[in-house]
Amino acid sequence: MANKSIPKKEFFAPIKAWKYIFKKPVTIKVPYVKREAAERYRGFHINDWNECIGCGTCAKICPTDAIRMVEVDDLPHEYGKKPQRPVIDYGRCSFCAMCVDICTTGSLKMTREYVHVSPEPEDFIFAPTEKGIHGIEDVPVGWIRDEGSDLLELERVEMEMIEGEGRSKSFIEYVKGYSKEQAMHEAARCVECALCTDRCPQHMQIPEYIKAIWRDDLTDALKWLLKGNEENNMLGANPFSAVCGRVCTHKCEEACSLGNRGEAIAIRWLKRYIVDNVPEYDKVLEARPENKGKKVAIVGSGPAGLSAAYFLATMGYDVEVFESLSRPGGVMRYGIPSYRLPDEALDKDIAFIQALGVKIHVGVSVGKDIPLQKLKNEFDAVFVSTGFTLGRSTGIPGTEHEDVIQALPLLREIRDYLRGEGPKPKIPKSLVVIGGGNVAMDVARSMARLQIMEYGKVDVKVTSLERTYEEMPADMDEIEEGAEEGVKFYPGWGPVRIVIKNDKVRGIELKKCLQVFDENRRFNPKFDENERQTLEAEMVVEAIGQAPDYSYLPEDLKEKLEFVRGRILTNEYRQTSVKWLFAGGDIVNGPDIIHGVADGYWAARGIDEFLTKGVK
């Protein structure tokens, strides 16, 4: 033997063990002595129902299929939450604690409880609450997730951007987009809970396309973008993927379950990655449906109009779109600055829609060049989506001055100028923008760029009633990036009058805003009339909201339609009270592009039903 030689046998050896007979036994008497389990013990579960969002990630990781998600009747259905809670079958549970380590909210934990006796098999299947399996207060907590055992990656893959100073010198798109590796990495963070799908106005099949990115199958990913869910009548498709991949308000990301403990998946950037990287974009949808022999006219080529055109074309209708401006795209073409949405991205989406046979007539103003009645006579149905094209004014003294202008016309002018299709807009040395929304940011950032090009320095001030950046309706990114580009912010001020001297705008007088909304969340601003300041400016831009232009609607038709606070009332299929007339987009619903796409989708379904079954 290497270490020790084999022991010799002894006659008394067995008897020596008898000396232990009076020693305290090391074994524990059960059930008389309750043994306290270790701090990390993996016993039965507890789940805090207030925190749990019903995402089902725990059920997905469970290696033994011990977890089922069960609908709970009285739980509220809110965005970012499902009315489901995990139910655990202790006949299957292997007590591995993976469910705890992956829980997206941290609501699920294990306890130090380990004794449970029952003759009833059902007593081993239960939905854990914060009271554990035995319904007691202060259940001793055992295994909990920590940094070492976490099974989620909580930080998103950072998006590369051109830095502040560099990007403020041009209108070139500053968000660079993900590389393949970055996109696959970001896609690998998704837990497929589909809370995002629920939140998205168009219910895009987000987990499906994210998974396709992770599998590096971009053709499939694009199919999910364009086709959506076929069983569900293509719900979930979005013909404006290149656009939405850049400028969508990404409500989905607010619902992402990963946002509970970390950073939401960069859904918008992933969508953009797909569209930017599939070379045969327009060949993805091969199937062309049978022509139904019916025609639909669409007024306005914004997101709602062109989406409706897309969905109708894929259903087999002949679609013609009428656009009063010289290029199609509406707000996407003329409102959003090119550093956020370059023309090429929009053109890609529109070219795809045209490839399906949709005819777009530009420079044709319905109501002027063609009466709406004519469209009604020549087409089987009409969809109007003319958007909010008029600006709103604060109405303070001095706004009638020519150097007090509206945001939308200015943005349109800038984009036309940059395309070489219009004159240079007036570029003031100093500018005040009134408004706290994204349109105000677009104006401020665009003018900052033009000022740098013209004078080499920025003097743009943004003032808003909202008193904090959080209160401002603009995206935080827009505010932060605007600040990096030299824009100065003056939140919490209300406009009093435009200061005009010698017939020239010199600035704007403001008063302190004490409150924007009342306790009922109604817009009800209050001011301190004594606290005032004046901001210097050669020009003032009002960006406090937009209004519709219904001048193309004949009076008799207007009388038949119902309006609610300036918007046209429709049913869920976007059908107005006039059967052949459907409406969508800003004039009905959505303040953003994805709402427009959803309107286009529902309108297309409504029109289809109307034309095939003559219903409603």
Partner 1 sequence: MGEVKLFFGPNHPGMHGNFSVHMYVEGDTVEKARPLPGFLHRGFEKLMERRLWYQNLALIPRICVPEPDINEACYAMAVEKIAKIDVPERAQWIRMIVLELARIASHLMSFPGIGGTIGLYTSSFWGVSDRDRILDIFESLTGARVYHMYIIPGGVRKDLTPKIQDLIFNTLNYIEERLGEYETLIFKNRIVHTRLKGIALLDKETALELGVTGVGLRATGVPYDIRKVDSYLFYDKVDFEVPTATEGDAYARVYLKYLEIYQSIKIIRQCLEKMPEGKINVPISEGNALRYRVPKGQAYVHIESTRGEYGYYMVSDGGEKPYRVAVRGASYPQTFIGIEKYLPGTRIEDVPIWLSTMDVCAPEVDR
Binding residues for ligand SF4 (CB under 6 A): 47, 52-58, 61-64, 66-67, 86, 88, 93-99, 103-105, 107-108
Q: How far is the CB of 239 from ligand SF4 (least distance, A)?
A: 33
Instruction: Examine residue 60 and tell whether it contacts partner 1 (CB under 8 A).
Output: yes
Partner whose footprint covers residue 325, from ligand SF4, partner 1, none (CB < 5 to 8 Å by kind): none
Q: Do 518 and 512 form a contact (C-beta atoms < 8 A)?
A: no
Check residue 126 and report its DSSP letter: E
How big is the CA angle at 546 (ends 477 and 483), to the nearest 5 degrees?
Answer: 25
Q: How far is the CB of 65 from ligand SF4 (least distance, A)?
A: 8
Strand 488-491: give its sheet, edge to edge.
404-406, 539-542, 431-434, 460-464, 488-491
Give the Cα separation of 243 and 222 in Å (integer).
14
Q: Which amino acid is at 584?
A: G
Partner whose footprint covers residue 107, from ligand SF4, partner 1, none (CB < 5 to 8 Å by kind): ligand SF4
Residue 4 exposure: Cα atoms within 13 Å on the Cβ side: 3
Instruction: Examine residue 40 and tell whether it contacts partner 1 (CB under 8 A).
Output: yes
How big is the CA angle at 443 (ends 265 and 447), to the nearest 5 degrees?
Answer: 115
Give 150 or 320: the residue with its C-beta nearer to partner 1.
150
Q: How far is the CB of 138 from ligand SF4 (least distance, A)?
A: 20
Instruction: Examine residue 24 and tell whether it contacts partner 1 (CB under 8 A).
Output: no
Burial category of 71 from C-beta neighbours within 10 Å (exposed 0-12, middle 13-18, buried 19 and up):
exposed
Q: How many CB atoms lie within 10 A of CB 248?
A: 25
Give 37 or 284: the residue with its C-beta nearer to partner 1.
37
Give 145 or 445: the residue with its C-beta nearer to partner 1.
145
Which tokens in the block code for residue 560?
A: 């038949």
Binding positions for partner 1, 301-360, rule CB under 8 A: none
Give 96 or 578: the residue with its C-beta nearer to partner 1.
96
Among 54, 142, 245, 600, binds partner 1 (CB under 8 A): 142
Among 55, 69, 88, 97, binds partner 1 (CB under 8 A): 97
Which tokens in the block code for residue 562?
A: 């119902």
Phi, psi of 383 (to 5 degrees): -120, 125
Partner whose footprint covers residue 52, from ligand SF4, partner 1, none (CB < 5 to 8 Å by kind): ligand SF4
Picking from 271, 257, 100, 102, the residue whose alpha carbon sits closest to that of residue 192 is 257
Instruction: Examine residue 115 and tell whether it contacts partner 1 (CB under 8 A).
Output: no
Among 22, 23, 26, 231, binds partner 1 (CB under 8 A): 26
Q: How far is the CB of 70 from ligand SF4 (least distance, A)?
A: 11
Three-class DSSP labels, 82-122: CCEEEEEECCCCCCCCHHHHHCCCCCEEEECCCCCCCCCHH
Q: How far is the CB of 508 from ligand SF4 (least distance, A)?
A: 49
Give the Cα separation of 471 and 442 in Å (integer).
18
Partner whose footprint covers residue 103, from partner 1, ligand SF4, none (CB < 5 to 8 Å by kind): ligand SF4
Partner whose footprint covers residue 4, from partner 1, ligand SF4, none (CB < 5 to 8 Å by kind): partner 1
Q: How far is the CB of 87 from partner 1 (least distance, A)?
A: 19
Picking from 573, 616, 565, 204, the residue whose alpha carbon sits closest to that of residue 383 is 573
Which tokens in the block code for residue 353?
A: 């829609």
Question: Collapsing DSSP states into helix, strand and coil, what is residue 71?
Answer: strand
Question: Cis link prior to 342 (omega < 30° from 0)?
Answer: no
Partner whose footprint covers residue 55, from partner 1, ligand SF4, none (CB < 5 to 8 Å by kind): ligand SF4
Candidates 151-159, 387-395, 411-419, 457-465: pick the segment binding partner 1 (CB under 8 A): 151-159
Give the Cα separation of 242 and 345 in Å (integer).
6
Candidates 34-42, 75-83, 271-279, 285-293: pick the segment binding partner 1 (CB under 8 A): 34-42
Give the Cα separation of 228 and 221 in Å (integer).
10
Instruction: Examine residue 141 and tell whether it contacts partner 1 (CB under 8 A).
Output: no
Instruction: Examine residue 63 and tell whether it contacts partner 1 (CB under 8 A).
Output: yes
Q: How many CB atoms lie within 10 A of CB 110?
A: 25
Q: How far is the CB of 90 from ligand SF4 (least distance, A)?
A: 8
For the chain, report the end-to-end CA distance as a whole number of angstroms. Answer: 96
Give 116 or 497: the residue with its C-beta nearer to partner 1.
116
Partner whose footprint covers residue 189, from partner 1, ligand SF4, none (CB < 5 to 8 Å by kind): partner 1
Q: How far is the CB of 110 from ligand SF4 (least distance, A)?
A: 7
Q: How many CB atoms lie within 10 A of CB 549?
A: 15
Site string for partner 1, 175-204 (x = CB under 8 A): ---------xx-xxxxxx------------
Q: How far is the CB of 195 from partner 1 (least distance, A)?
A: 15
Residues lying near partner 1 in the complex (CB under 8 A) are found at: 1-4, 6-11, 13-14, 16-17, 25-27, 37-42, 57, 60-61, 63-64, 94-98, 101-102, 110, 142-143, 146, 148-149, 151-153, 184-185, 187-192, 214
